[in-house]
């Protein structure tokens, strides 16, 4: 039976590149993303299939439990229990604490934290060797923001990713004897839709790059390589870990 990689947020930059790389490594790929992103995902799926791989789209809003359950079930029915999972679905909300909007904070937490936890629940139910699964590896996307509380105005986003880190470490212990490893990758500023505004503001982009020891933004392909390593036997003793991928962290935590 094929290896099966399931990716939430698979129509976004890091998710798409992880899907492409997983397919090249022989995984059947299930893309879980919003219905509105079906057309975007279709191009990716066509590319994978035309290259001899297997891929399918499963629509889901990860802030909705029933949609997560249905998407996971559809993916399992198509390709079997996943052996690799990459949870990349997430949103960003930026505001100083004194300006926070309750609805915006609630939405961010429902996607970045609660939705990810429920995705992990479904992954464990299908992957666990105790329930007939094949075991495997779950990779949750966190952020370097969790290491310093984020840049000014990013504290809520950073808090959501801090929750991902703590949850992942505890979850990894729960399922370690069920054939499942669980880790996070913590990107810094990566060239995706979430950082697209930097391209329109050269001064802001330079300020961000100057705050990164390596002096540049990351690329989605670089995060995909880490995700695939964490899913592979090469990382067989790694669980409950956080892999920092932020070009060295932050030179300063100043305002940018």
Catalytic residues, which ones? 157
Q: What is the mean pLDDT of the chain?
A: 93
CA distance readout (Å), 136 to 64, 127, 133, 182, 226: 25, 7, 9, 9, 16
- Is the confidence at residue 145, as pLDDT, over 60? yes
Q: What was the pLDDT predicted at 15?
A: 95
Query: Could you tell me what percent of the chain has a pLDDT over 90?
Result: 81
Which residue do the tokens 């697209």 mark?
Answer: 196
Pick 53 or 207 by higher pLDDT.
53
Q: What is the mean pLDDT of residues 113-125?
A: 98
For 237-251, write each residue's pLDDT tens digit: 999 999 999 999 888
Q: Is the pLDDT of residue 69 over 90?
A: yes
Contacts of 230 by beta carbon, 8 Å cutoff, 6+ apart: 137, 139, 181, 183, 185, 238, 243
Determine, yes or no, domain membership for 39: yes
Joined together, the tokens standing for residue 183 give 């880790």
- Domain membership of residue 21 (yes or no) is yes
133: in domain: yes
Report whether 220 contacts 191 (CB < 8 A). yes
Instruction: Say whether pLDDT at 253 is over 80.
Output: no
Greatest distance between any 2 Cα atoms in the chain: 54
Q: What DSSP designation does 57 have?
A: E
Q: How many domains does the chain have?
A: 1
| Structure tokens that stand for 157 in this block | 């986003």
Q: Express each pLDDT in 177-220 by its tens digit.
A: 999 999 999 998 888 777 777 777 888 888 888 888 899 988 99
Instruction: Judge whether 106 lies within some domain.
Output: yes
Mean pLDDT of 147-161: 92
Q: Is residue 160 part of a domain?
A: yes
Q: What CATH number did the domain enclosing 130 receive? A: 3.40.50.720
Question: Which token pair is 230?
Answer: 């964490």
How far lies 174's CA from each of 105, 141, 148, 161, in Å?
A: 29, 19, 27, 20
Residue 255 has pLDDT above 70, yes or no: no
Q: How confident is the model at residue 71 (pLDDT cuts 50, 70, 90)?
A: very high
Range of the domain at 67: 4-188+220-244
pLDDT (0 to 100) of residue 104? 96
Q: Is 195 part of a structural domain of the chain?
A: no
Does 149 map to a domain? yes
User: 84-87 and 4-8: which strand pairing?
Assistant: parallel
Query: What average pLDDT does this structure show over 31-56?
Result: 96
Residue 197 in any domain: the answer is no
């Amino acid at each position: 039976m094929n290896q099966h990689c399931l990716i939430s947020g698979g129509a976004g930059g890091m998710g798409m590149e992880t899907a492409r790389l997983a397919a090249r490594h022989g995984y059947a790929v299930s893309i879980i993303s919003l219905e509105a992103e079906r057309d975007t995902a279709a191009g990716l799926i066509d590319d994978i299939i035309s290259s001899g791989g297997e891929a399918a789209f499963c629509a889901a809003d990860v802030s909705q439990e029933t949609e997560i359950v249905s998407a996971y079930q559809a993916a399992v029915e198509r390709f079997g229990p996943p052996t690799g999972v990459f949870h990349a679905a997430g949103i960003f909300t930026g505001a100083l604490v004194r300006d926070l909007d309750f609805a915006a904070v609630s939405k961010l937490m429902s996607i970045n934290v609660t939705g990810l936890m429920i995705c992990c629940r479904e992954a464990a139910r299908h992957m666990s060797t105790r329930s007939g699964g094949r075991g495997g590896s779950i990779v949750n996307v966190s952020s370097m923001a969790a290491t310093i509380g984020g840049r000014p105005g990013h504290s809520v986003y950073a808090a959501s990713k801090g929750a991902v880190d703590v949850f992942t470490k505890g979850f990894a212990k729960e399922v370690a004897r069920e054939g499942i490893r669980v880790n996070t990758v913590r990107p810094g500023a990566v060239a995706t839709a979430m950082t697209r505004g930097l391209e329109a503001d050269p001064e802001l982009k330079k300020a961000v790059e100057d705050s990164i020891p390596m002096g540049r933004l990351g690329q989605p392909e670089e995060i995909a390589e880490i995700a695939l390593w964490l899913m592979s036997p090469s990382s067989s003793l790694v669980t409950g870990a956080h892999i920092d991928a932020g070009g060295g962290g932050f030179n300063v935590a100043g305002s940018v």
